Structures are given as C-alpha cells and as structure tokens.
Amino acid sequence: MTIQHLTTLTSPAGTSRKRRLLQGAGLLAASALMLTACGGGDGGAEGGDGGEGTTAAAEGNTLERLQEEGTITVGIAGEVPYSYLEDGEPAGATVAMHEKIFADMGIENVEAELVEWNSLIPGLNAGRFDAVSAGMSILPDRCAQAAFSDPEIMYTTTLMVAEGNPLGLTDLDSVKEKMDAGENVNLAVLAGGIEAGYAESLGLDVQSVPDAQTGMDTVANGRADAFAMTAISLNTLAEENPDAGVETTDAFVQVIDGVEQIGAGGTVFRQDDTELLEAYNEALASVTESEETYLEVVGDYGFTAENLPPEDLTTEQLCAGELG
C-alpha cells in the first residue's frame, strides 16, 4: 500500500509542493474534482455544504467510490504517536492501522491531509477528506456530529511539566486544589481535546494550544505550568526531546463527579457513510481480535496490550455517555 501526503494546511512547504504539482487552471480543475470526490456525506453538523456534489455519498455509495478509485484521503492532526508526518510522509499507529484495514477493504492507497485538531470533524463533514485518522476519543458531543468506528485505542492522561515538577502536580485534581487555594497555576490543553472537557467540568482556567508541540513549547518556555494530554503522546514527545527541559507525571484516569472517565478512540466517518463504516468495523475486528494481531499493527509505535479495547466496550455506550 502507498501512503502519500496530499497537503499540509498549516505548512507553507506543503502548500508550495501542491502548487508545484498543480498550477494554474490545472489546480482549479483538480480542486473541483477533489471536492466532488470527497463530498461523501451530508455535511453533518459542521462545515458541510449538502449540495449536489455529494450525490454519491448521500446515496451511501462512498465505499463503492473509494473502492473504484482505490484511494481514500484521511485527515490527521500531527499527534505523535497516533498520526503525524515523518520526513514529509504520514506515519503513526493509526496510519499503520488504516494502511492495513483499508487495504483489506480493497482500497489500496491512503492519502493524508494534515489539519489542526479542531478542524478534523468540520473538515470531514465539508468533504475535504473521507475519514479521520487520529485516535479521536469517542464522546457524546462528537457522536452528534459524525460517526465513530468501534473502539480502537484505550488511553490515559498525563501532565507535562517543567523538569523537576516544581509545583508538585500529579493530575488535574492537584491543579484544581492549587487553583482553589489561590495559587497561580497556568494549565494548557489541546483545543478541542478531551482534556479540555475535563478541565471545563472541573472549572479550571486554561489556555488552549493547537497541537502537542505547541503545548510542550508552552511549558518549556514557562508560559504554562502544565500541559494535559494523552499519556502516550506526551511521554513519546518528552522522550524525543530530552533537552526540552520538561517531564511527564505518572499516567492517570481522570475522575469527574466520582466517575472514572473512560478514554477510548476510534476512526471517524461522516454520518451518512454507513456502508463505509460497517465495512471498516468488519475489517477492524481482524486487528483487535487478539493482543497478537493488535500489536503486530501498532506495537512499533509504543502501544501495548493495555491500549487494546475490551471486547465488551462499545461505541454506543461511549456515545451515550454511559461510561463516564
């Protein structure tokens, strides 16, 4: 299978590359074709146009179109180790998962578009790509906007803090205790991330950052005392940047109103793309059926058996908010 990077919206270099490949009238024509081809849903709650260019998807034929074309475009958010760019090409655990799963579905080529986290679901519903490959947590408010696959990845949370952890922070509860005591604690969270929701539920004042790298830089430069995000992401980031002057706390499962918050992520599709979702879940089952098959796909990216979702955990439960 070929993994190819289409365009990086936040990178001038990616834009220049696209311009070199598609110039003048050719760019306009290709863009029009791309919008028509990727218009695989009704637009959903955010960003969709619901126009005539989405006829195939509105009729539930996105799966057939992708199989005929042999290519699917996924949106990624640049979060290590889930999905990111490495030497200009997509990499990561969810990319590896999709490389296998879509090939099993008869879609041999996966192209990726890098966008900010908050733009993933709006971009999906606007037809800019066909699925989201980012290990996105399955939450009720997101389920109202898009359709999630069966659970693929379990995760916990950690705090990235300055080296030595001068404030002695351990989790979001410790941040709240210090804030409630009148201490000045600056907490950064990923805009639109699940930790932002935790912080809101706890009544914490936060600053939002667009991606993990910015979050780490914010802590390293002293503009934040802590950055809350997925443990495997921040642990990997800290390991890959040993001179950044940061460290991570032990991983934790956040408790809100006495309920442990279950962190489970999946692949995201437009709500109308039911045939695509069903075919995906069928192929996904061959990856998550055992620890061995799971780790064959994602083990190289630091994922362990603890990240494999339990068999009795369902997307329906997570979308209904029944598990916290």
Phi-psi label, residue 63: left if phi above 0, alpha if psi -120 to 50, beta otherwise: alpha
Question: How confident is residue 7, by pLDDT bands cut at 50, 70 and 90?
Answer: very low
What is the Cα–Cα distance from 8 to 112, expressed in whole angstroms?
A: 9
Strands 259-260 and 255-256: antiparallel
Rounded to the nearest integer, the mean pLDDT of the chain is: 84
DSSP character for 72? E
How far apart, in Å, are the Cα atoms of 254 and each of 80, 162, 166? 21, 21, 22
User: Which of the four pLDDT bands, split at 50, 70 and 90, describes residue 44?
Assistant: very low
- pLDDT score for 154: 95
Q: Is it the case that residue 189 has pLDDT exceeding 70?
A: yes
Q: How far apart are alpha carbons 32 and 81 in whole angstroms?
A: 33
The domains of the chain, with CATH numbers, are 2-154+264-320 (3.40.190.10), 157-260 (3.40.190.10)
Torsional class of 168: left (φ above 0), alpha (ψ -120 to 50), beta (otherwise): left
Contact at 8 Å (CB) between 137 and 229? no
Cβ atoms of 207 and 186 within 8 Å: the answer is yes
- The pTM of this model reads 0.75
The pLDDT of 310-324, averaged and rounded, is 89
| Separation between Cα atoms, residue 186 and residue 200, nearest integer Å | 14
**How far apart (Å, rounded) are the C-alpha atoms in residues 2 and 34?**
19
Contact predicate 132/147, CB 8 Å: no
pLDDT at 11 over 50: no
Output the pLDDT for position 15. Answer: 33
Measured distance CA(138)–CA(148) in Å, rounded: 7
Strand partners, 206: 187
pLDDT above 90 coverage of the chain, percent: 75
The rounded Cα 33 to chain-centroid distance in angstroms is: 26
- Model confidence at 206, pLDDT cuts 50, 70, 90, reads very high
pLDDT for 119 beyond 90:
yes
- pLDDT(322) > 90: no
Residue 97, pLDDT above cutoff 70: yes
| Band of pLDDT at residue 210, cut at 50, 70 and 90 | very high
| Biggest distance spanned by C-alpha atoms of the chain | 62
Its sign, for the CA torsion 194, 197, 202, 205, is positive
Collapse the DSSP code of 12 into the 3-class scheme (helix H, G, I; strand E, B; otherwise coil) and give the result: helix
Residue 234 φ/ψ region, left for φ over 0, alpha for ψ in the -120 to 50 degree band, beta for the rest: alpha
* pLDDT of 3 strictly over 60: no
Question: How do residues 225-276 score in pLDDT, each as one tens digit?
Answer: 999 999 999 999 999 999 999 999 999 999 998 988 889 999 999 999 999 9
- Please check whether residue 215 is in contact with residue 160, taking contact to mean a CB–CB distance below 8 angstroms: yes
